[in-house]
Every structure is written in structure tokens, then in C-alpha cells.
Amino acid sequence: MNVSRLSFGASSLSAVFHAVDESKAIRAVHAALDAGINYFDVAPAYGGTRSETVLGQALKGIARDRYFLSTKVGKYTDPKTYGKDELDYSASRIRRSLLESAERLGTDYFDIIHLHDIEYQNRQHTEWALSEGLDTLYVLKAEGRIGAVGCGIYPLDLWARIFEHYPIDVALVHNHYCLNDTSLLDLLPLAESKGIGIINGSPFGSGLLTDRGPADWHPAVAEERAIFQQAAALCQQHGTSISKLALQFSSQHASIPSTMFSSSNPETVLRNVQWHEEGLDAEMLQRVQMALTPVRNKQWDY
């Protein structure tokens, strides 16, 4: 798949981070398409299926060959009890999940399906996901229902294990190549040797690398959040924003095929595209990374 250097994560289309105007969120998707972004990722767990529903509405009537589309399986959240995850990597649930997502998104084919957050709930379901879960995706690929098999997880040790021992096509790695964490670089040679395409998720550190700061659910404690706030203030003092620096740093690495951001605001989408195309301020980067030294490569307990 010849994906754009920037890709669109649809988690923000629900209320995962803040309240969302649905019509504006749909315009954000259209803005991304018009700006040349051609890969969109979503999951049934985002907003208790709301993100899939809104993305489906936005893509309605758009020629299917204009974009690549992925969703995830294995993690589900009832909208009425959002935040209480159900993890199910059985073949029957994955197949049902695929049909449900296809209905919401208005498609009968997914370019990629990712196993979602297989490390959650203290990894009690990890082996299930890597056996029955992955086997089911291999079968769906052989059936022509999906194009590629992937995973969307966080822990570095689990990524190293998957890269070494499991034949996946793509890896959605989040929060490991951003201003405060460059751990992904250690995994790139292994991924390249296995022919695994990397999707770099969360250039804004799940909200840590923004002026607004992260949502309440983020595991960073108050002292850690304060360090990021100080870095953001440093950028403001020099006439720029930490978000701009973060997006540029994450998206401009030559060996990372695509960096995925999420926004429900069309103006923000276009701003991110513009930032990506501008040169990075190396001096500002050095200052900010120095300020973030106390949290460098910090592994959060998602």
C-alpha cells in the first residue's frame, strides 16, 4: 500500500478527548482527503462505536479507491459503560466484529485489520490474541476479506516478540516516536528485516505534547504532566507551539512510512499538513527535548 506520509486516526471523531461537533468531524475527514491523506484508521472501541459511525458517514459517497481503511478487533466498549473494556479474541467474535464494523463504515473490505490492545487487563488475554486471534486474521486474509494483518499495541517487549515470531504485515506503534520517546528507532531494523510496515501513532503523545494537555484518563501523574506543561510554555516563549514541533519531529523521519494523528477539526487537519511540510527548528527541538529529559522514554501504564 502506497500510503501518505500523514495518516488519519479517527479516535477524535468520538468524544474520546473532548466534546465533538459531528458535522465538523465529518468536514475534518473530507479536509484530510482533499489534502492528500489516504489512510484512515478506526476501532469499534473508540467512543463505543461512535468513531466508526461518524467515519462511515464521512466516507459515504467517497470512491473506495481514494483511501485505505483499517479498523481493529478484540477490544470493545459498551457506549453506556464507556471505559470498561471487553476483550475477546475468539474467531466468532472477530468475524462478528468485522461484519458490524463493515456495516458502520459502509464497506465490505478492509485494507488492514489490527488486533487491538492485546496487552490490556494485565496481559491475561495476550496469548489468546496471538493464537486464535491472529490465526483468524490469517484466515480472513486468505478468504480475501482483508488485505493485511496488523496489531495496535504499546509495550516494546511485546512488539519485539511479535516482530520476531509472528508474520504480521503492519504494526501500529503508538507513543514510541515522539518528542519524549524515541524507542521505536530500536525496533526499526527488526521490522525492516521482516518486511513489516510501521505506522507511527500518537505524535502528540496522547495529548501530553499539546498546550491543552492530556485527557483525565492519561496515566501520567501530576508531576509528569507539569514537565510537559513547562516544555509547552518554553515553546510559547519562543513564538511557537509544542504541537507544531511534535508533529514535525514525528512525521519527518525518513524511515517511518506514515505518522498518524487524530483530529475532529478541519482547520487542525490542514494546519498539521502545513506543519509537516515545513522545516523543523533544530535549535528548538534540542531545547524542548532537554526540558523533557526527566520523562524521556517513560513507559506509561495504559
Per-residue buried b or exposed e for 77-87, using 16+ beta carbons within 10 Å of the residue's own CB = beeeebeebeb
Closest CA to 179 of 248, 97, 255, 77: 248
Q: Give the active site residues.
A: 46
pLDDT tens digits for range 55-104: 999 999 999 999 999 999 999 987 666 557 899 999 999 999 999 999 99
Query: What are the angstrom distances between the C-alpha of 26 and each of 8, 12, 14, 183, 202?
Result: 12, 11, 11, 34, 21
Half-sphere exposure of 242 (CA within 13 A, CB side): 27
**pLDDT (0 to 100) of residue 211:** 96
pLDDT tens digits for range 251-292: 999 999 999 999 999 999 999 999 999 999 999 999 999 999
User: Which domains does the chain possess?
Assistant: 6-295 (3.20.20.100)
Dist. CA 70–CA 109, nearest whole Å: 9
Dist. CA 57–CA 150, nearest whole Å: 25
- Is the separation of the CB atoms in 173 and 198 below 8 Å? yes
